[in-house]
Each structure stands twice: as C-alpha cells, then as structure tokens.
Structure 1
C-alpha cells in the first residue's frame, strides 16, 4: 500500500528550500508514495507546481490563521508522514499538528539557521529550537547544520545529513577567453555578502586587471537598489546586473561563465554551489556553513574568509592570472565533484525516512 506524504513550506520568497521541495515533488517515487503539499498562496513555488502530475496542492495564507487551515487539512488528508521545510513552517506546523492530533511520522528539514540580520533572532531561535523538539526526525542539509542543531540540544540520533542534489547532465568543458567571466547568482540579501564582493570589485577596478574580467549579477531582493547604485558608481561596462534568473535556466546559464562567486556570510548548503559544479565551473566562496564540505581550496575553486573584501579580491586576481590549462583543470574537478550531489540520490535518502 502506498504511503501518503504531506509536504509543508510557508516562505513567500523563492530560494534553496523551495527548490528542494520542488525536487522532492519531481523525483519522489509515485509507485510507493501519494504526495500532497501545502504552500502559501500567490507565490513563486505555487506557480512552479502548476501542472505537476500526481500532486495535490493546497494553498494557505502566511498569517497565523494558516495554523487552523493546516490543522483542518491534516485531519482531512490523514497523511502517514508530514515533511516540513523552513523555520516558519517548522513552528506553525508543530502547532497545527498538535491541534489536529496527528500521531504519524513528523519530519522537518533544516536548510540553514536563523538569519543573523533579524532583530529578534535570539528569541526566534529559542522558539524554533522548542518546535524542533516536537519532530521525530530532523534532516540537515550539511554536517555544519547538523552540528548547529546538536549544539542547541537536539540529540544526534534524531538528525540525519542529506545534502542537496542536482540533475547530473552531460557537460562539455569549454576553453576560456583572455577575459575571465565571473558570475554571482543569488538573492540580494544581507546573508549573501554582496557589500564585500562589490568592495573587492571597486579595488580591482582601480588596477591593471580591470579589463581582465567581466562580472554578471543575477538575482533580486531587498538590496537590489544598493547593488544597482554601486554597479553604476563603478562606471564600467565589465560589471552588470542582469536581473532575476528563472530556476530552470540556472545550469544552462552558468555554463557560459568561468567561475561562480559566493561571498556569503551565512549558508546551509547552497544549491548554487553544486549547480555550478554540475555546469562544470569552479567556485570562489566564503568558508561558511556546509560550503567547505564540497569546496576544496585550489581543487574545485577557492575558499575565502567571510566578510573579507581583501580575500575576495585576492581570489579573483589569482583566478584571472591562471593559465587556461589550470582553469580547465579546476573546471574538470568541479564537474567531477557534482557527481557526489545527485538529486536522485537525495530523494532516495529522503524516501527512506518516509
């Protein structure tokens, strides 16, 4: 008999957690599982789910009333397993499950930790940790997230690391041009470390290397105006803001570049990292979260100190000066690394928890 699975995610923005949920919807074995999902109304993830076969989609608002809505839906659906994603949903679903009297398998995935930028972060952390203790199993997207959970009194035997995975496609490695093509791809939010990258580009723009690289930014978010203004102040055609990129275009677009840059100050295990590897390009990234669990300095990219524009500048200058043979070696190593992070394997590991 098939198991009935209910996914819940309540974020309004589209990011790694939403991508992860969509991958579960796409790859879950429907011969073994019936799948339903609760998402916020009028959001990107709701739009992405439209037309997906063998999937029951329910929408709720993001306010406190969604707790009662979810509770009613849980009673109606009577799933065998509820799998929740993101801190907001983790808290609200814990209350809804209690109201519904649900006694089945109750799982949440921790995609990272509470953002440091939030004013009430300490209080939110306490509430989040309290909610986590109601779950029978917690999936962490990296060993770093697992350690953070354990340091907050979540027993290790209730936590399992399952890395994010991507589709592994045939990728032909290309030779590079004399000008290195660099790409940033992510939400324009504080956690992504954009000021440090832009400061590094200001310094390179003053040097003899300024015409040796082009940098394209893809994304959207609260810091968009700041990014636009800073790029304008650089007064160069070599740095551009290219706007939001549809998720299904990411790997295809990344293949047009030589390296991805991720100056993050806080991460769980970013999809963009392994998407870059799958596209056959190395990565310059801050040594935060689960990034060092996949990125090896000098092998498939370069690790930098978080919040250091100087480190980012040095890494970019180092990459610019590499000969084509070394760049191709980094690309090959990146592509080989991607095979360790296969979306099919990711969903199989999740299925075992169902």
Structure 2
C-alpha cells in the first residue's frame, strides 16, 4: 500500500466532542496516531445522548451511513472500534473487504445483559477481520481463547499510547499527603471503594483528597464527601469535575499517589498517564492494570473492591521516606516510557500495512 493509498475509514460509537471532551479520548488518540503516520482518516462517530429513543434513532442512522460508505468505496480499509455495537451492520450487510477491529473493555468482558447478548456480534466480526487490535496482553489471550481467533492476526497496541512529557515533575510532599482520583463517576470506576477506605483511614498527616471526573454518581459523591469532611479533621476534600486532558496531566504532577480503584479496565490509560509524570499509583489488582503495575516497584496494588485492603495500602504510604518515594516515582516514569504514543503509533502503522497488504 503506497502513501497515496493510505486512506482509512474509522467507525466508533465513542468519540470526543466539545461538549464531551473525555468521551472516547483513546479512540481519538489512535486516529491522531494514524494521521501522524501519513494516513488520511475519515472518522464517523455516534453522537452521545442520554435520551434512549434518540440513541436508537442515532444508531439506525449511523448504521445506514456505515453500510452506504462501505458499499460506495469498498476498497477503503475500515477500522471499527467497539465491534459489539459498531459491527452490527456487518453481520448481514457490506462486510468490509479490508477490515480492522479494535477491541475495548465491554466487547470482551460485558457488564450487563445487553452487552452479554452482543458477544456473538463481536465473535462474528472477529472471524472475518484482517486484523484484531487489543489493548493488552490479557485481552490478546482472552480473544484467542474465548473466540478461537488465530493468534497471528491479534495484535497488542495499548489504546494509542500516552504523551510523554520531557521530564519527571513528581513533587515529594513532606508535610501533606496528596491523593487523587480520576475517572468517570460511575460504580464500575470504584470511587465508592476509595471513599469507604478514606472513612477508615486514620492518617497522622494532613491529607488532601481530590476527585476529577463527572458522571451520574456526582450527587452521591458530593453527599459522601460532605459526610467525610465532618468526620475527618485531618482531611481536606475537593471535587474538581471534568478537566481538559492537559489539566489532568498537571493535576497528576501535584499528587503523591493516584488511587485507581476500578473494577474493570482493558488497560487503564489513566494509571499510565499518572506514571508518565512520575506519579505512582495505588490500583485494583485487575488484569489490565497489572499489565504495567508492579506492586512495590512503581506503585501498589490492592484486592479489587476491597476497601480494607486499600486502607492498608494507604496506611503503608503515610510514612514513606523521600528516598522510597523517589524510587517509586522513577520506576513509574520508566514504565510509562514504554507506552510512548510515538512508539505505539509506528508499531500499529507497520502492523496495519502488513495486514492489509495480504490480498
């Protein structure tokens, strides 16, 4: 495939917009990476809405557009994200001649009855794809084992990678312990596990706890924080809401630790982005995160959903000396360097070209 032919069409049911800048940022990162490698990328994404009727209408229009474009330009490679939903039109109509699928969390590990019912959509699309892109080694193993896909066409690429800043800006605080949470405020992100742990955490240092994110659980979080504020004299809490990506990176720089209590991640870019500025993490011991988290070396892990175990980890970090913090920070930074978006971008580009060159 020559540079003149490097056109690709991306379909996704998640993509950031002005109103929802954090919605599917990893999809946009992959698109940006393709563009940086010389691809002309034609992106088609579902608009986000909370209205269920409007969502069904949008999906119907989106599917018609997909079928029309694939039939109109059959030689243009198609790159689909979230095939459990976005791959539905290709079950019966217009299966792409050159087809790349990018698996994400719920495509493989469904969280509700609808997602479970759609596993057959994922399987059928995987069977006809030229290349299957997965975010982690764990997902690669699951795709091969659960769907019987040939291992040679399953490629690990960590969700577009991360932007690496020039230097480690981690700050070692001696008087105050600074903890943070970044994520969508929904049960699966584990924010309540964190607040339950904070209710049992008896810190002997002044502690500032900050929450970044938005979502349907915002009112519950605000109520919980109000209760915690009244019962914890040594703790100060702040809820910052959703922040632009650059602001999130600056936020990481001011933390001692990011707490990442998620119940499910295909990789967990939030943890890697914190590490990229030298901030170690305390995270759930789930397969996606354990791809890069080494307990005691670049952060700490705790049993998923276990607030008592998280309290123990918080107790352990209170009195860490500066040398130990620097050890964790340096290792966190070195881990993140392996996920540099420039390295990830080139590797994915080379793999796509190889996969699409096979007639």
Give the TM-score normalised by the residue count of structure 2: 0.84
Q: Which position in structure 1 is the counterpart of 2:29?
A: 23
Within a 5 Å distance, the mapping from 1:128-277 to structure 2 comes to 128-155=122-149, 156-164=151-159, 165-171=161-167, 172-204=169-201, 207=202, 209=203, 211-236=205-230, 238-277=236-275
CA gap of 1:281–1:296, structure 2 versus 1, over 3 A, is: same
Q: Distance in 1 between matches of 2:32 and 2:89?
A: 23
Q: Which position in structure 2 is the counterpart of 1:11?
A: 14
More moved, 272-281 vs 160-169: 160-169
- What is the number of residues matched between the two proteins? 332
More moved, 106-115 vs 275-284: 106-115
Gaps of 5+ in 1: 44-59
- SS of 2:9's partner is strand
Indicate conservation of the 8 Å contact 1:5/1:35, yes or no.
Answer: yes
The answer as to 2:106 corresponding to 1:113 is yes
Gaps of 5+ in 2: 50-55, 354-359
Indicate conservation of the 8 Å contact 1:40/1:61, yes or no.
Answer: no
The structural deviation recorded for 1:78 is 4.2
Indicate conservation of the 8 Å contact 1:16/1:270, yes or no.
Answer: no
Within a 5 Å distance, the mapping from 1:31-70 to structure 2 comes to 32-41=38-47, 62-70=58-66
Q: Deviations over 1:118-169 (max 9, x none)?
A: 1344323233323332322211100111122123123222211112311111
Q: Distance in 2 between matches of 1:296 and 1:181?
A: 21
The structural deviation recorded for 1:41 is 3.3
The structural deviation recorded for 1:231 is 0.9
Give the TM-score normalised by the residue count of structure 1: 0.86
The structural deviation recorded for 1:79 is 4.9
Q: Which position in structure 2 is the counterpart of 1:289?
A: 287
Q: Distance in 2 between matches of 1:79 and 1:314?
A: 56
- SS of 1:239's partner is strand
Q: Distance in 2 between matches of 1:22 and 1:197?
A: 29
